[in-house]
Amino acid sequence: MTFIRKLRHVTLAATIGLGTVLSASANAQTIVKFAHVDGEGDLLNNPYWTFTEVFDNVLQNQSGGRYKLEVFPNGQLGDLESLAEQNAIGVVDMVGGLNAGHLAAYYPPAQILEMPYTFPTTEVARKVLNEGPFGDKLADMIAEGSGVRVMSYLTGAFRNFSNSVRPIHTPEDMKGLKIRTQTVPLHMEMVKALGASPTPIAWAELYSALQTGVVDGQENAPYTMLLTNLQEVQKYYTLDHHLINMPLITINDDFYQGLSDEDKVIFDNATQEATFAMLGIIAAKESQDLKIIRDAGVEIYQPTPAEFQQFVDATKEPIRAFMEEKVGAELIDELEAAVKAAQE
């Protein structure tokens, strides 16, 4: 039994004891703690606010008021790494914004969600992960391995490459460029496979690093670029769609398994409706963000199908070899089959 799993059981025992006291009142309302690091009050700029508003409304209506969401925004309970741990041990019931990297720290196969050039569109990703059996199976696997269950895969905006040296139309144009990456081995392998030099740099230092030429470029979704005005220090932005920026809605699995079948359906319904609302906001925001980037003077390029295929071909074999060591060939095959089926 892993340390996290032992800690989960200790925490669960304490929670059950407290729940016994609270249930003395037959009509007691259960408070569900939901934490994220986003702000509140603005539909376009704070999509998690949209999610929690819709989720709580559905949750209270369908449960007859037996459940109510208590939201802790703006990182009140800690950063995402801390929230991942709190979610795993049951201190926080639900979290918005964890990604595959956070969960891979507890269950390495979760990083399959970050295989580059896997999903051709966000619609295909949604079909595979939120509507198909692969997403359900992966959620079960992650829950068993980490104690955290994925309730929704938020298949939002794609990550793309930007730089200040030259337009990138094919992998050939990336040769010799220094591209900032996160300290994620998979991301670094991808950049190397495309011919560039991956250079991990802290997020807080990225603007300065781009401004002074420590690195030539970076890779992020449009709204992430705008968070620190990276459009001011970049000239070219290529919509190669190598990764989907895929935050997750997660729930402590012990909490979820403790629900009745009827209440599980209520939580699932609330998640589905809130996800639909949030993804609509994210789609609208992406169009707005691309316009802001273009208006700032950044040249935006959409690769042709033939050019896009060159990115896929350059990364396929080295990334598969890297990932097979982490997650196994069988899971990769299942994901690729699910993606193919979603396009038929």
Which amino acid, one-letter code, is at 55? F
Judgement on whether residues 204 and 124 belong to the same structural domain of the protein: no
Residues 6+ apart with CB under 8 A from 220: 159, 160, 162, 230, 245
Judgement on whether residues 265 and 181 belong to the same structural domain of the protein: no
Tokens of 74: 């703006």
Q: Is the pLDDT of residue 21 over 50?
A: no
pLDDT at 172: 98
Q: What CA–CA distance (Å, rounded) separates 232 from 152?
A: 34
Judgement on whether residues 213 and 313 belong to the same structural domain of the protein: yes
3-state secondary structure labels for all residues of 292-304: HHHHCCCEEECCC
Which of 25-29, 159-163, 297-301, 332-336 has the weakest average pLDDT?
Answer: 25-29
Judgement on whether residues 216 and 174 belong to the same structural domain of the protein: yes
Judgement on whether residues 259 and 127 belong to the same structural domain of the protein: yes
Judgement on whether residues 282 and 293 belong to the same structural domain of the protein: no
Judgement on whether residues 99 and 230 belong to the same structural domain of the protein: no
The pLDDT tens digits for 83-137 are: 999 999 999 999 999 999 899 989 999 999 999 999 999 999 999 999 999 999 9
Token pair 């300065």: residue? 208
pLDDT band per the 50, 70, 90 thresholds, residue 7: very low
Total domain count for the chain?
A: 2
The pLDDT tens digits for 234-267 are: 999 999 999 998 999 999 999 999 999 999 999 9
Give me the phi and psi of 264, to 5 degrees please: -60, -40
CATH number at residue 300: 3.40.190.170
pLDDT at 24: 35
The pLDDT tens digits for 182-217 are: 888 899 999 999 999 999 998 889 999 999 999 999
**Percentage of the residues of the chain whose pLDDT score is greater than 70:** 92
pLDDT band per the 50, 70, 90 thresholds, residue 60: very high
Q: How far is CA 263 from CA 13, 117, 194, 229, 321, in A?
A: 21, 37, 47, 43, 42
Helix (H) or strand (E) holding 278: helix 261-295
Tokens of 104: 């891979």
Judgement on whether residues 23 and 49 belong to the same structural domain of the protein: yes
Judgement on whether residues 151 and 162 belong to the same structural domain of the protein: no
Which of 37-41, 56-60, 132-136, 264-268 has the weakest average pLDDT?
Answer: 37-41
Q: What is the domain range of residue 60?
A: 3-156+246-286
Give me the phi and psi of 233, to 5 degrees please: -125, 20
Helix (H) or strand (E) holding 123: helix 122-129
Higher pLDDT, 99 or 56: 56
Judgement on whether residues 258 and 132 belong to the same structural domain of the protein: yes
Q: What CA–CA distance (Å, rounded) separates 134 from 337?
A: 10
Q: Is the pLDDT of residue 154 over 60?
A: yes
Sign of CA dihedral 205, 208, 211, 214: negative
Judgement on whether residues 193 and 237 belong to the same structural domain of the protein: yes
Average model confidence (pLDDT) across the chain: 91
Judgement on whether residues 86 and 52 belong to the same structural domain of the protein: yes
Helix (H) or strand (E) holding 84: helix 80-89
Which of 23-37, 47-61, 182-196, 259-273 has the weakest average pLDDT?
Answer: 23-37
